[in-house]
Structure 1
Amino acid sequence: MSANDSESVAVNSQAVNSGSEKQGRTASNAVNTEELLASLSMLNLNSRDDSPESDAEGEQQGSIVAAHLPLKKSISEPMRVIGKDQHLSQLFNRVQSLLKGDSEEAEGHFVPHCPESLEETGLTQDEIERLILKYLLAKGTQTGRQICSQIKLPFSIVDAILKRAKQDQLVAFGGTAEMGDYEFTITELGRERARRYTQECTYFGAAPVCFKDYLKAMEAQSIAKQEATEADLKAAFSDLIINPKMLDRLGPAVNSGRGMFLFGEAGNGKTSIAERITKAFGSTIWIPRCLGIDGDIIRIFDPGLHEEVVQEVHSEGLFDLSGIDPRWVQIVRPTVIAGGELTMKELEITQNPQTKICEAPLQLKSNCGTFVIDDFGRQRMPVDELLNRWIVPLEKRYDFLNLPSGKKIQVPFDQLIIFSTNLEPKDLVDAAFLRRIPYKIEALDPTEEEFRALFELMAPMMGFQFDVEAFEYLVETHYKAVNRPFRACQPRDLLLQVKNFCVYKEVPRKLTPAAFDFAVENYFSVM
């Protein structure tokens, strides 16, 4: 590339940059990235000038870069740089991917951006220093970037705090590491201070997210803003046999984002239906690993309840180029299920008396998702106590929680509440509570056609070939003759009985009248 060509590219880039200031942050960033890539490409070409083939290669590289750097390129189209130097091409493409967060945010998707300064973290130097000293007390010597990986903050922020800690003689250099990094070891003065911090709280994981940022994230990802169409519901329930009329009743209830009663006889799939409702939204959300509120650490992310979405690794050596704040976790919209074991303690912030780490209540962990109260009416806590606890949150869409410090905070109550029960709702709650649950949907018994479809679906899963004659024998002899109602769970349960019978007798798995007689005798012996 000649000097005139370089000047031409620079002038054109500046002209486009000045003309796009009114197009918003995304457009501005796209142009700035084009300038950066053009500059990097020229630097790369200049580094080849000493080689005999530099002129020919320069012209070829210049044409390639020019072809992939149109000055009026649409922002929605991803820029891809292709050249002989594959390593540099990958770096160009990763730089371009840094703008992905801005474009997603412009489309209404929440993306937690990595903080670039201490102020953007919402934390103080002392709060970060506490985490670092407690971590070094437990691990001994660690490099600066290992500390960053532990507390999930950028090296540029942590490095300044480590240097201050060294000046205060809380840590000392233990050796050198890569890219201007050092190994840090805790001093005796630092150990003494870290022990005092540990007595207050043992936590030294990911740096907490401030409460203000959490509220903004929940508002941006609210389940009330999601819409589920008939096609979405059919996709979510594709592995179930469900009555079309019931599906039509579920659709408006799901879109309400409020709450519903699922009631009906035991075994008709109420829990299975509740578990799949969240899938109808078909999206993921970002939640913080933990919150920091006035010194209290409250854990939000729970691997036992949340399904983490594995992120694509965007790293170049020691650098993370994803642009995502690692203090946040991307999860599938949560579905939290609490059965008869639910107690009032699980609906409040609880603090471990030894570690002083707080655990978020179930309704906070289910925000922007679904909270299923299974077997409603059979909890260890009285029904009236549960209803009184939630009668205001169900109406106002927010809740009040008490911190261990005594402070009361207002948090979003933003989930689809599903009360699943085989008892009559009117026998469990009063009219005031029923008014706050706008949808009451009964899980009806399957018809004979649906009952057969369930057998045809489950038989191959159990290793059987569906037998029409055996099925008709079962229905005529053990259902119609004794006026026994169909239940959605019975095909699976009866087939499992037959499977275990065949395994015990060491005979091929086959559906026969004799096998169904054995299964029915066991299954319905006290029913």
Structure 2
Amino acid sequence: MSAEGKLSPAEYLRRMGMGVANSFGATPAPPSSHLAPPGNSASTSSKPPQSVADKGHHPAMANNAHRAAAPTSSPIGVSRSVTPQPPAHPSPAKGASYPAAAPQGVGADVSDASINALRSDIRSLLKSNAGATRPNVPLDPISSRETESLSLPVDADNGRLNSLFERVQNLLGPKKTEGENEFLPAEPTSLYETRLTEDEIERLILKYLLARGTATGRQVSAQLKLPYGLIEPIVKGLKQDTLLAYRNTAEMGDYEYCITDVGRERARRFMEECTYFGAAPVSLRDYLHAMEAQSITRHYATEESLKAAFKDLLINPSLLDRLGPAINSGRGMFLFGEPGNGKTSIAERITRCFGSTIWIPRALGIDGDIIRLFDPGLHDEVETPAAEQGLFNLTGIDQRWVRIVRPTIVAGGELTMDQLEVTQNMTTKVCEAPLQLKSNCGTFVIDDFGRQRMPTTELLNRWIVPLEKRYDFLNLPSGKKIQVPFDQLIIFSTNLEPRDLVDGAFLRRIPYKIQVPDPTEAEFRGIMQRLAPHLGFQYDDAAVTYLIKTHYAAVSRPFRSCQPRDLLLQVKNFCTYKNYPKQMTAEAFDFAVANYFSVM
């Protein structure tokens, strides 16, 4: 796999010419012949594969020992052996751009006729050039070598080959463009790759069917966000153990399942432990890898990117120059100044400098505890555009992960210490991730710092180590303590003086203290001019001059960045009430000022 996520021509031929059955979901060739070049199968070792239990890779391998015996015949004539096995050849590492082989469900967007025609053309081309001299293209899928181009001696064949490559690339979907998120969670191709035990998946299935009543195997797969190929043998195993029963047949060789009395009793016991039956959880190990790959420390703000992030705000260039280095430090900052000058607006836009989107798990599974991480109330899920849903893009992503806009989480005076720890609902026994975990790879804004219900010293003592070390420790309901990334830009926004809130030891750990000043008269006019069209007004400089001289200069009133918006809204409401045309007039501004500044 190249760094750009694009298959090399040699890889195309290996998968579609030599290994086309694997690439498009057909039955793969036996392992003894898959790795050998044509005509050299005798060189392949006949040694039987080592069992997973012998290798000891994962606790799932020893799970359900009563099912690890020789396959038995199921009622529908399907051999059953669901002991997880490691992949026959290396599976894609988490974060790979595309999986090494087409996952389950190929053909949803591409017709079988198109695939078969392409396969036939490639085989025909290979056959016609069987005697030609070719470069040494590795056929072993575990080889690290790649050949960027495959030169054939006949120009006509080169043309045919290029045409085939174009057709294959159309099936694969568009090439990833520069600047996109490099991390992509690859769909698991085996139970081993999910890092889940069979028992954990069975618990989710039984609880889901207890709540739903009946479901097909593919509906169970969609609920757990796992490939149907991994779910099918487990569901059939539950049926064989009389925990589930067939209710009806379904499309594509599937069955509709219902839970039996024995299964219902077991599911109720599982519900007492935890009621969660959503997407299968992701391991802490995979989460740590994802956060490292998408860390804010991998992104740096430049003057141009900062201007682009703040293009909808009128902001002093000198303030931008102070914000840039603070953002690049990734360690946190104080934004302080008078209320209404845009501290919160500035903090919310800083996240744009770190890239557009990231991938996070829907839930984490840690030693039996399930922690919900994805929060629709705080995270904005990104839909995959139809144009980007190529063959591998659509089905090659681990659906247990969700793509979101880089998070910007704002917590104000309502923030409590409980929101900074893993909390468990005592009724459902489902755990909720703390806010700092939900804001990883983004920005966490503590707004109105100093006005929280808890003392500021309590918050500072909780974060004094994470701010310096960039990792945090969380206590789980089971009593276990885990180390997690503290990978977000923490912004303390306050209209109080920082030295009055915290001591020097804490201020030292937040190296950037940036004051957001009052706008100048020119900036005040600029904000008014920019906002007027959005509120339905035509900007009138004479009326604004009257406002400044009469209600600001004459009474020595300081400007605030929020005042142009607030005053124009007052004028708009005044004009609507009087049935006047929307105009910026002296009379309207007098009315707005009388209301707005009456107690200020």
Q: 1:511 aligns with which of 571, 575, 584?
A: 584
CA distance in 2, matches of 1:358, 1:4: 57
Q: Give the alignment partner of residue 492 of structure 2, picking from 410, 416, 419.
A: 419
1:20 deviates by 9.6
Partner of 2:374: 301
Query: Residue in 1 aligned with 2:76?
Result: none
Matched, 1:160 2:246: no
**CA positional deviation for 1:279:** 0.9
Of residues 326, 329, 350, the one that matches 1:256 is 329
Show the 5 A alignment for 1:337-416.
337-416=410-489
| Contact kept? 2:172, 2:393, Cα under 8 Å | no
Aligned to 2:371, the other structure's residue is in SS state strand
Shift, 1:109, TM fit: 1.4
Where does residue 202 of structure 1 map in the other structure? 275
Aligned residue identity for 1:80:
E
Q: Give me the whole-angstrom Cα distance separating, in 1, the residues matched to 2:316 and 2:353.
A: 17
Deviations 1:252-297 (A, max 9, x none): 1111111000000000000000000001223211100000011111
Do the aligned partners of 2:333 and 2:510 also contact (CA within 8 Å) in 1? yes
Q: Which residue of 1 aligns with 2:405?
A: 332
Task: Pick the structure with more helix per residue.
Answer: 1
Q: Distance in 2 between matches of 1:415 and 1:21?
A: 39
> Is this contact kept in 2: 1:94–1:321, CA < 8 A?
no
Partner of 1:80: 166
What is the match of residue 143 of structure 1? 216
Distance 1:514 1:290, change over 3 A: same
CA contact (8 A) 1:104 1:111 kept: no
Q: Does 1:226 align with 2:299?
A: yes
Query: Is the contact between residue 181 and residue 358 of structure 2 (CA under 8 Å) also seen in structure 1?
Result: no
Find 1:7's aligned residue among 114, 122, 127. 127
Question: Of the candidates 492, 496, 503, which is equivalent to residue 430 of structure 1?
Answer: 503
Correspondence for 1:66: 161
Task: Say whether 1:494 aligns with 2:589.
Answer: no
1:47 is matched with: none
Residues 170 and 95 of structure 1: CA distance in aligned 2, closer, same or farther (over 3 Å):
farther
CA distance in 2, matches of 1:406, 1:452: 58
TM-score relative to the length of structure 2: 0.75
Q: State the alpha-carbon separation in 1 of the partners of residues 373 and 132 from structure 2.
A: 49
Using the TM superposition, name which of 435-444 and 166-175 deviates more.
166-175
Instruction: Write out per-residue CA displacement over residues 232-252 of structure 1, whole angstroms, 9 at most, x where no aligned residue.
Output: 110110000000000000001
1:95 to partner: Cα distance:
4.6
Alignment pair present for 1:125 and 2:198: yes
SS for the counterpart of 2:515 is strand
Question: Once the 2 structures are TM-superposed, how far is the Cα of residue 67 of structure 1 from its aligned partner?
Answer: 3.8
Deviation at 1:322, TM superposition (A): 2.7
Q: Does 1:457 align with 2:552?
A: no
- CA separation of 1:20 and 1:256: change in aligned 2, threshold 3 A: farther
Native 8 Å contact 1:104 1:110 kept in 2: no
- The one-letter code matched in structure 2 to 1:357 is V
CA distance in 2, matches of 1:394, 1:174: 56
Q: CA deviation digits over 1:182-217, x for unaligned, max 9? A: 111111111111111111111110000011111111
CA distance in 2, matches of 1:393, 1:409: 13
Pairwise CA distance, 1:80: 2.6
Shift of 1:179: 2.1
Using the TM superposition, give the Cα deviation of residue 176 of structure 1 relative to its aligned residue in structure 2, in angstroms: 1.9
- Given that 2:173 and 2:393 are in contact with CA atoms closer than 8 Å, whether structure 1 keeps it comes out as no
Matched letter for residue 212 of structure 1: R
Q: Partner amino acid for 1:486?
A: F
Mapped partners of 1:94, 1:403: distance in 2? 47
Farther off after superposition, 268-277 or 280-289: 280-289
User: Counterpart in 1 of 2:15?
Assistant: none
> Is the CA contact 1:176–1:183 (under 8 Å) kept in the aligned structure 2?
yes
Looking at structure 2, the residues matched to 312 and 23 of structure 1 have their Cα atoms a distance apart, in angstroms, of 34
Q: Secondary structure, in 3 states, of the residue corresponding to 1:250?
A: helix
Query: Quick one: distance in 1 between partners of 2:269 and 2:142?
Result: 53
Give me the whole-angstrom Cα distance separating, in 1, the residues matched to 2:216 and 2:467.
Answer: 49
Report the more deviating stretch, 423-432 or 305-314. 305-314
Is contact 1:13-1:31 (8 Å) kept? no
Q: Is the 8 A contact 1:263 1:423 kept in 2?
A: yes
- The residue that corresponds to 1:182 in the other structure is 255
Q: Does residue 551 of structure 2 align to residue 478 of structure 1?
A: yes
Match of 1:17 in 2: 137
CA distance in 2, matches of 1:31, 1:404: 55
Question: 2:452 and 2:288 mapped to 1: Cα distance?
Answer: 31
Shift of 1:4: 7.7
Give secondary structure in 1 for the equivalent of 2:287.
helix
- Output the amino acid matched with 2:213: G
What is residue 517 of structure 2 aligned with on the other side?
444
Identify the residue that residue 51 of structure 1 maps to in structure 2: none
TM-score relative to the length of structure 1: 0.85
What are the equivalent positions in structure 2 for 1:47-66 lying under 5 Å apart? Answer: 65-66=160-161
Q: List runs of 5+ in structure 2 lacking aligned partners.
A: 1-120
Distance 1:331 1:274 in 2: 19
Tell me: CA distance 1:311–1:9, structure 2 relative to 1, closer, same or farther (3 Å).
farther
Identify the residue that residue 113 of structure 2 maps to in structure 1. none
Q: State the shift of 1:173 in Å.
A: 1.5
Judging changes above 3 Å, is the alpha-carbon distance between structure 1 residues 400 and 6 closer, same or farther for their aligned structure 2 residues?
closer
Could you say if the C-alpha distance between residues 94 and 296 of structure 1 is closer, same or farther in structure 2, counting changes exceeding 3 Å?
farther
Q: Structure 2 counterpart of 1:227, which letter?
A: Y
State which of 238, 248, 257 in structure 1 corresponds to 2:311: 238
Give percent identity, aligned residues only: 66
CA RMSD of aligned residues (A): 2.8
Q: 1:449/1:355 Cα in 2 relative to 1: closer, same or farther (>3 Å)?
A: same
Equivalent in the alignment of 2:172? 96
Shift of residue 523 of structure 1? 0.6
- Say which SS state the counterpart of residue 229 (structure 2) adopts: helix
Any idea what SS the aligned residue of 1:419 has? strand
